[in-house]
Amino acid sequence: MENVSNAINMSFRVDKTLKKNADILFKKLGLNTSVALNMFLSQCVREQGLPFVPSMNTSESNKPSRQLIKAAKEADKILSGEKKAKGYDNVDEFINDMLK
């Protein structure tokens, strides 16, 4: 929120158990529900949409993308020594190499 004088109260209905579980989660994250909801709304405005992809097929939405699967397989090959990859001792070395 930009400043408290611009704050308004919002009222909406939510399941009692959902609210309780959300409060517990947010507390573990060092937040309260008001801060978490402000974060959600800010993210929606910034993204100009929901900050997640709504889906009726929850099992499908939890599947990794083809690109992620490919990257994971490549990482496994690098870790096993099957594929060579250049390593860096520090970030500056990496950035200099990327800028070449």
Q: Using a cut of 0.75, tell me whether the model's pTM lies above it.
A: no
Distance of CA 95 to the CA centre of its chain: 25
67-98: per-residue pLDDT in tens? 989 999 999 999 899 999 888 888 999 899 88
Cα separation, 90 vs 94, whole angstroms: 7
DSSP sequence for 52-72: S---S-HHHHTSPPHHHHHHH
- 7 — pLDDT class (breaks 50, 70, 90): confident
Give every CB contact of residue 55 below 8 A, 6+ residues apart in sequence: 61
37-65: per-residue pLDDT in tens? 999 999 999 999 998 887 776 666 577 88
